[in-house]
Amino acid sequence: MGPVNRTDVGGGGGVTGVPGGSGRGRGAGATGDAGPAEDAGPAEDAGPAGGAGAAAVVGGPGTPGVNLPALRSHNAALVLDLLRTAGAAGISRLELAERTGLTPQAVSKITARLRAEGLAAEAGRRASTGGKPRTVLRLVPEAGHAVGLHLDRDELTAVLCDLTGAVVAERRAPLDLGAGAHAVVEGAAGEVEALLGGVSPLGVGVALPGPLDHTLGVLHRVTGFPEWDGFALRDALAGRLGLPVVVDKDTNAAALGVAVGAGSGSVGGGSFAYLHLGTGLGAGLVIGGTVHRGARTGAGEFGHQVIQLDGPLCECGNRGCIEVLCLDAVGRGTLDEAARVLGAGAANLVGLLDIDLVLLGGRTVAAHEEVFVRGVGAVLGERARREGGGTAIPVGVAPGGARGVAEGAAQLLLAPLFGRGDG
């Protein structure tokens, strides 16, 4: 969707902890001051900046969902994202107008509100080809924060990220996902509270193994932990913390982080698969720059495609899943075999979705990056040679390292503010 050249309804939206912020734990929202129309263009699109399908974000159990992106105008999201990507060097109002297609008057009104709310600030002046030097504006990273929480089967990672996605604080702790819902929620909440240190964040993004329902924040039969089936994790954690919470699969969160993170320009607008090999195996799919979850958050259950009909029994109940074959090979120390199995699954994805790139992540990959990149790349290379007509799909290691999933979880709250994801 392009810009809408009318008044910026709701302005930049207040962010908790800055002037214009709204309510405890409510995150970003509209200011409610629409102001006069800036020109006679078409009416402002009041839809979510992040597109259709955004998850509801709740402030407590049983409360109606509050869709944060819907409270922020599309035009303000365009401007905020350009301020974000411009970095400390900043960008002028004229450049903002040129790159968004908004009128200079519209840009001036939006940026004035963003400055009044503490989201934008002057970054100096830049010489122009005529007339007085142009004022350059930048995003104020510390104007808002989000928590990213990665609940792995045996470890918890929590990060506090500013508006640019940069990590400003981090905590790690052992975790037993099989200890029961109450123990896990209490432990996770305690780590988040210790992480915050008085900061009032936009909310908490939680990433953990699936399957689960992203829209409702309800877990299904998490592989290896069927007792979580039907547990409303989002509502439980939101009620415990008094903050908005978004829940997604670990692989989707990591893929979102790659798609919208700093330095992702080469992949952010394309299609790629993020393959996560750690205590389990799954995939996050980005199609056309957007995380593809499917109608029931079922997309990306990559590890449970069967490739050996009479293979070993997987914890999901099937035999010969890629996950069990891959993890068995890792357990035996035959990493080259594990890489080939992962490559076979990656080749299936490439053939099915015609993606542009395969990225690898997870603790097992992080410990043996070269082996897995080489092994998966070899399988994809052989596939390309058999088919002819082009080069092999490139394989690389996803940015973010051991905290990539947690950083992506924070983006479940941050990305919709910039129109870069539906959270």
Place of tokens 């009104």: 109
Largest CA distance in the chain: 76
Q: Residue 275's closest CA among 350, 346, 353?
A: 346
Question: What residue type is assigned to position 372 of the chain?
Answer: F
The catalytic site residues sit at 250
Both tokens assigned to 148: 């990213």
Which residues on adjacent β-strands are paired with residue 319?
A: 313
Question: What residue type is assigned to position 259 of the chain?
Answer: A
Runs of H (alpha helix) within 71-119: 74-86, 93-100, 104-116
Q: CB within 8 A of 163, min separation 6: which ones?
A: 15, 84, 119, 139, 140, 141, 142, 143, 144, 145, 414, 417
Going from the C-alpha of 93 to that of each of 4, 30, 42, 104, 132, the distances in angstroms are: 16, 22, 21, 7, 13
Q: Looking at beta carbons, which pairs linking 283-286 to residues 24 or more positions away fall under 8 Å?
A: 283/251, 283/349, 284/249, 284/251, 284/252, 284/253, 284/254, 284/255, 284/256, 285/255, 285/349, 285/353, 285/355, 286/255, 286/256, 286/258, 286/259
Runs of H (alpha helix) within 17-59: none
Both tokens assigned to 170: 């981090």
Cα 235 from Cα 241, distance rounded (Å) = 10
Contact 218, 263 (CB under 8 A): no
CA 290 from centroid of its chain's CA atoms: 10
